Amino acid sequence: MKYPLLFISLLLIGFTSCTKDETAPETEKPEEEFFVNENPATFAEIGSIDIGDVGAAEISAFDPSTNRLFVVNNDETKGEVNRIDVLDFSDPKNMKLIHSISMQPYGGAVNSVAVFDGKLAAAIESTDKQANGKVAVFKTADYTEIKKIDVGALPDMVTFSPDGKFIITANEGEPNTDFTNDPEGSVSIIAVDNNYAVTTLNFAPFAGKQTELAAKGFRIFGPGVTNDFAKNIEPEYITVSSDSKTAWVTLQENNGIAKINLTTKTITDIFPLGFKDYNADGNEINVSDKDDNSVALAKWNVKGIYMPDAIALVESNGTPYLFTANEGDAREYDAFKEAERVSKLKLDAAAFPNAADLQKEGQLGRLNVTKTLGDANGDGKYEALYSFGARSFSVWNGSTGAQVFDSKNELDVKAIAFGANTYDDGRSDDKSVEPEGITVGKVGNKTVAFVGMERADAVAVYDVTDPTKPSFLQFFKCGDAPEGVLFIPAKNSPTKKSLLVVSSENDGVVKVYTPNTI
């Protein structure tokens, strides 16, 4: 009897082994990438919805599990509007407002939203902007609150790490208008799996490097805070590596990017961004809004301060490449205004021997520059001029901070060529087309960057498959003052095609674009 039993046992073992071997390839096989062959140079509008006026439709986030789009709405024309509008996005050609989540119970204005795995995170400033703000987390399915978490002062941007384990906020920490209260700029890291425990990091450990950083273009300035390094830092926008181990944060007013180790929850580096030379080939700009409506671009003995707003990441061959929209932003408060027109400054005769001509309205006279740079010897005469922003987008090595690409004046050139009053000559004396938003995504077999320009009311599209050599693809108009540019990959899209959502803060309009398939 033992031999038949042994035979049956061997059969069972063999059957079990065969079954395991046959199923193993299916369970271990990685998920196939969803692919749609699309032409990234053919984005066209397919849908639009108006949710308010100035202050509405600033930032949006998409939840693929519910096909809902969540849009920040702080409509300044309607009093106490402070909410997140929820749009039915199942048919992007016919978006519908289906709900609003009030932010009134959580504090002041809601500044940013992000979505991951059925969770919506909202960054909300305090009613006292210098006090700590909050992140509120909701279920996207029924809008019920999951958690609310205290973070640093004035959380201006929120994002999830790609693995969903962290929620991260850039806490700008702006001063009050008379500069008597300037909270620390900070970054809050919320551990989702640890009951939303929060770690808030400040920049005090870098105070001893202030002189070294300043020599490379990092800015610490303002009344009464010149030596208070941590309070002077103003984080703006965040991007995170695909392995969720590293984050980079733009420090806009300071002209830098900070690198953060999310595993150890420490700030490891600050990268000063230096300055752009508008007297170099390819960097020609228009500097006057009173030059008989001329849009001619020329070389000028002026520097640009990059001062990026939004930041996005492309990883290629083991190197992180940071894409920044170099908007620029001046500090303007009752107690301190750093901007001044060149016509109002005293120029050093050795550096500017033709100062009298340069200071005319049709030349450099109207250009806004900072009073905090350019007078190196403190004699009240400026040997150099530094304007706000760089009128471009740039690519930086995320490991070293080195610049590997700048679009030079191409955004201006494309806006002028597009016609239809796209280039706003009235902003030539400030920051020109004012690149503010940037995002990246995979369209067909190309990696693509989308750059939103606040003053051109337009988006420029670039092939960044080689992140060191972006190439222009397309330029199209959008709403008034685009603030948010959101890319939805085809695999998550309700149309199963790539979508670009552009939300504009001056007219409250959300527009959707999609490319042609090949």
Digit-coded pLDDT (tens) for 78-129: 877 999 999 999 999 999 999 999 999 999 999 999 999 999 999 999 999 9
Contact indicator for 394, 403 with CB cutoff of 8 Å = yes
In this prediction, residue 226 carries a pLDDT of: 57
Does one domain contain both 287 and 205?
Answer: no
Q: Tell me the C-alpha distance between 124 and 4, whole Å.
A: 73
Residue 227: per-residue pLDDT? 66
Boundary (domain end) residue, out of 225, 248, 271: 271
Backbone phi, psi, residue 284, to 5°: -60, 140
Number of Cβ within 10 Å of residue 212's Cβ equals 12
pLDDT value, residue 225: 59
* Same-domain pairing of 209 and 137: yes
* Same domain membership, residue 278 and residue 265: no
Predicted local confidence at residue 243, as pLDDT:
98
- Verify that 198 and 129 share a domain, yes or no: yes
| Residue pLDDT, tens place only, 380-439 | 999 999 999 999 999 999 999 999 999 999 999 999 999 989 999 999 999 999 999 999
pLDDT of residue 143: 98
Q: Are residues 258 and 284 in the same domain?
A: no
Q: Tell me the two tokens of residue 98.
A: 């289906």
Q: With 80 as the cut, is the pLDDT of residue 24 above it?
A: no
Q: For residue 455, tell me if it sits in a domain.
A: yes
Residue 259 token pair: 């690198």
Tokens of 476: 């199209």
CA distance 67 to 141: 10
For residues 211 and 174, state if they share a domain: yes
Model confidence at 132: pLDDT above 90: yes
* Nearest partner of 367 among 453, 305, 457, judged by Cα: 305
Domain containing 134 equals 103-271
* pLDDT tier at 7, thresholds 50, 70, 90: very low
Q: Are 221 and 313 found together in one domain?
A: no
In a domain, 393, yes or no: yes
Residue 467 DSSP one-character state: T
- Is the confidence at residue 440, as pLDDT, over 70? yes
* pLDDT tens figures, 296-309: 999 999 999 999 99
Q: Are residues 285 and 359 in the same domain?
A: yes
Contact 263, 245 (CB under 8 A): yes
Q: Domain for residue 44, yes or no?
A: no
* Nearest-angstrom CA–CA distance, 99 and 86: 5
Would you say residue 14 has pLDDT above 70? no
Total number of domains in the chain: 2
pLDDT in tens, 150-193: 999 999 999 999 999 999 999 999 999 999 999 999 999 999 99
One domain, residues 247 and 112: yes
Q: Is 120 exposed, middle or buried (0-12, 13-18, 19+ CB in 10 A)?
A: buried
For residue 22, pLDDT over 90 is answered with: no
pLDDT at 42: 98
Q: Band the pLDDT of 19: cuts 50, 70, 90.
A: very low
Please, which pLDDT band fits residue 2 given cuts at 50, 70 and 90? very low
Residue 304 and residue 403 in one domain: yes
Per-residue pLDDT tens digits for 448-476: 999 999 999 999 999 999 999 999 999 99
Task: Give the span between the Cα atoms of 474 and 208, in whole angstroms.
Answer: 45
- pTM of this prediction? 0.93
CATH number at residue 116: 2.130.10.10
What is the pLDDT of the chain when averaged over all its residues?
93
Does residue 233 sit in the same domain as residue 278?
A: no
9 pLDDT higher than 50: no
User: Among 412, 444, 449, which Cα is nearest to 431's?
Assistant: 412
d(CA 434, CA 455): 6
**251 and 282 share a domain?**
no
